Structure 1
Amino acid sequence: MNYVELDNYSRKWIFTHASMPVTESDLALIKPFTQARSAQIWGEHVSRQSPDADHFEKGDWAHNDKIWSQAIDWQAAWDSDEPELPEEMLAFLDWEDNTTVYFCYEKYNVIETKWDVFKRNWKNFLFFDDGPMLLGRKKSQAVWFSSKGTFRLANR
């Protein structure tokens, strides 16, 4: 079994919070991985050696500062009443709505969903903003979020 039932997910509340409820149809497509599968996804797509974004080292593709864009603000869009992602991110990620995406909080906490589900509910995912990465399966683009209210874009 690769997934944890959302009801048993430790951060379930970020998707069921009264101030930003997620529709039942979207909840069904937000699938947290087990710790073992999260570690496998993290190792294949993010880092074989670092457990989280604070500890990237030489050898991690994300450690290469030259591939990353300048920091772009996401906090203003998150704080606004508008649901859209920042336009710079949408312009960079030209993914189909049904693209499988991985939202990687850290080595043992990765969620799989679809790009359209993430776009509709991105504010929920960013209740925890301590360095998560958004990756598309079989896609080269990556987004790295910072708790400073910014994100950076790269091709890995």
Structure 2
Amino acid sequence: MSYTTLDEYQRKWIFTHQSMPVPEADWPQIKPMTQARAAQFWKENISAQSPDAERLSSQDWPMKDNNWWDEVDWMQAWEADENELPEAVAQFIDWQDDVTVYFCYEKYNVIETKWSTFKRYWKNFLFYDDGPILLGRRRSEALWFSTNGTVKLGKRK
């Protein structure tokens, strides 16, 4: 099996937090990977050596400055009453709603969902913001969120 249920997920609280709970009917669309599957995905798509964003090596694609072309604020939109993604992010990621995306917190913690689900609940995903990277299946665009309230917009090369 490649996934655990949201009920079994160690950080379930980010989706059930009383300030912005995800409706239970949408839980099946948020698919935390098992630790083994997450580790394999991380190794193939982020880093073969580093377990998290803080310890990426200069050889890992996210650490190469030429992969990132802009950095914008996400915290202001996160704190706003509206639920829209930051405008620059929405303009940069022009994916169809059914594109599979991977929100990569660290080597053993990756969540698979659809772009439409991520857009709807992006604030929940960012309750835990220690350098997660968003990738799309068969897409080169990438987002790298930082605890300082910014997100890098770039392309995986």
Same fold (TM over 0.5): yes
| Secondary structure in structure 2 of the residue aligned to 1:129 | coil
Q: Does 1:123 align with 2:123?
A: yes
| Secondary structure in structure 2 of the residue aligned to 1:84 | coil
Kindly report structure 1 stretches of 4+ aligned residues shifted beyond 6 Å. Answer: none
1: distance between equivalents of 2:153 and 2:128?
A: 19
Superposed CA offset, 1:90-127 (max 9, x none): 11111110000000000000000000000000000000
Identity within the alignment, %: 61
Gapped runs of 5+ residues in structure 2?
A: none
Query: Which residue in the other structure is 1:82 paired with?
Result: 82
Paired residues, what number?
A: 156
1: distance between equivalents of 2:94 and 2:10?
A: 31
1: distance between equivalents of 2:27 and 2:62?
A: 30
Query: Which residue in the other structure is 2:138 paired with?
Result: 138
2: distance between equivalents of 1:153 and 1:21?
A: 27
Query: Which residue in the other structure is 1:4 paired with?
Result: 4
Superposed CA offset, 1:41-90 (max 9, x none): 11111111111111111221111012213321000000000100001111
Matches within 5 A, 1:80-119: 80-119=80-119
| Secondary structure in structure 1 of the residue aligned to 2:70 | coil
Q: CA deviation at 1:24?
A: 2.5
| Secondary structure in structure 2 of the residue aligned to 1:18 | coil
1: distance between equivalents of 2:93 and 2:48?
A: 25
| AA matched with 2:108 | Y
